[in-house]
Structure 1
Amino acid sequence: MARVEETLKQELIDLLQGEKIVSLITTDKKTKKPNLSIVSWLVAHQDGKTIKFALGHKAESAFNIEETPDLLLGVVGAGSCYSISGKGTVSDVIDKTMKYRIVTVDVESVEDVIFYGGQITQEPDYIKTYDAELAKKLDEEVYEMLKK
């Protein structure tokens, strides 16, 4: 049986410094059923208890978290799969190059959830298919906000 931790281990903190595919599971505001989305603008803070991620200002996930702050983050990396449970708070709209909302997650538990005998040997990867200069500008802007 997997051991449940109350904070992120350093290996996960190091992994979660942006540009990762992370599953976000919230409770749908209307249906009250689980809602899955993907985030990549995400930073784990060195305290092991805080993760921040950015969403577009009209993201359904932001409205879901405002209604029901309990959430899960699913992470594939650091040799395994992790379920990070916490409570999220959503910022007001931040108007920069685009409009954002920052979600601050207070980590409550971290569980290694890979099946018995499994080990991740390759992390998921992706490319951005929009304007490279805009992508760079947005990334710099967002990560500056998330690291505060």
Structure 2
Amino acid sequence: MANKIETSLIDPLFNSLQKERFVTIASIDYETGSPNVSAISWVYAPDTNRILFAIDQKSRIVDNIKKHPAIVLNLIANESTYSINGNAHIKEDQLENIPLKLSLIELGISEVRDVMFYGSRISSEPQYDKTYDEKAAAKLDKQVLQAMKDKG
């Protein structure tokens, strides 16, 4: 059912955001004012009204949000594609006890829109592989998710 609008996450989206997954973030570039899209994976919904995500402190997303807090998170889940709009802010400049310098961003959800084109559904969700040490990646992913849960 394309273009249905909600003001918070529906259960299947909330459930899909309880673990690491592929999403894209669209922000407004702080220098050019043009759209900027980035792919991220450390994302977690502590409740149906907020989404937390962790990104490198030096990511362009951080500077973009500081100047223009309006962002869109794009999520492919529940056999569809969703546009999750809201305002974001830096919740923590640096997550503690994480070996990387990661900032924690909080998105306050104002609108969730099913944006899948009419008469279609997603038959398989995006998947990805970590291209560095598998054990190190699993350990880091666990640390980051736990830090986001603790701050949620």
**TM-score > 0.5, shorter chain as reference:** yes
Aligned to 2:93: 92
State the SS of the aligned residue for 2:9: coil
State the SS of the aligned residue for 1:147: helix
- Paired with 1:11 and 1:94, the residues of 2 have a C-alpha distance of 28
1:18 Cα deviation after fit: 2.5
State the SS of the aligned residue for 1:38: strand
Select the residue among 101, 104, 107 that pairs with 2:106. 104
Percent of matched pairs sharing the same residue:
34
Aligned to 2:67: 67
Task: Calculate the aligned-residue CA RMSD, in Å.
Answer: 1.2
1:131 Cα deviation after fit: 1.0
- Paired with 2:41 and 2:19, the residues of 1 have a C-alpha distance of 6
- Paired with 2:21 and 2:129, the residues of 1 have a C-alpha distance of 11
- Paired with 1:2 and 1:57, the residues of 2 have a C-alpha distance of 34
- Paired with 1:22 and 1:93, the residues of 2 have a C-alpha distance of 21
Aligned to 2:146: 144
Aligned to 1:31: 32
Larger displacement relative to structure 2 (14-23 or 33-42): 14-23
Q: Gapped runs of 5+ residues in structure 1? A: none
- Paired with 1:88 and 1:12, the residues of 2 have a C-alpha distance of 19
Give the residue type in structure 1 aligned to 2:133. D
1:43 Cα deviation after fit: 0.6
State the SS of the aligned residue for 1:146: helix
Larger displacement relative to structure 2 (122-131 or 84-93): 84-93
1:140 Cα deviation after fit: 1.4
1:19 Cα deviation after fit: 2.5
1:133 Cα deviation after fit: 2.1
How many residues of Structure 1 are paired with residues of Structure 2 in the alignment? 147
1:20 Cα deviation after fit: 1.4
Equivalent residues in 2 for 1:103-142, closer than 5 Å? 103-142=105-144
Q: Given the two structures, how large is their TM-score scaled by the length of structure 1?
A: 0.95
Give the residue type in structure 2 aligned to 1:128. K
Give the residue type in structure 2 aligned to 1:33. S
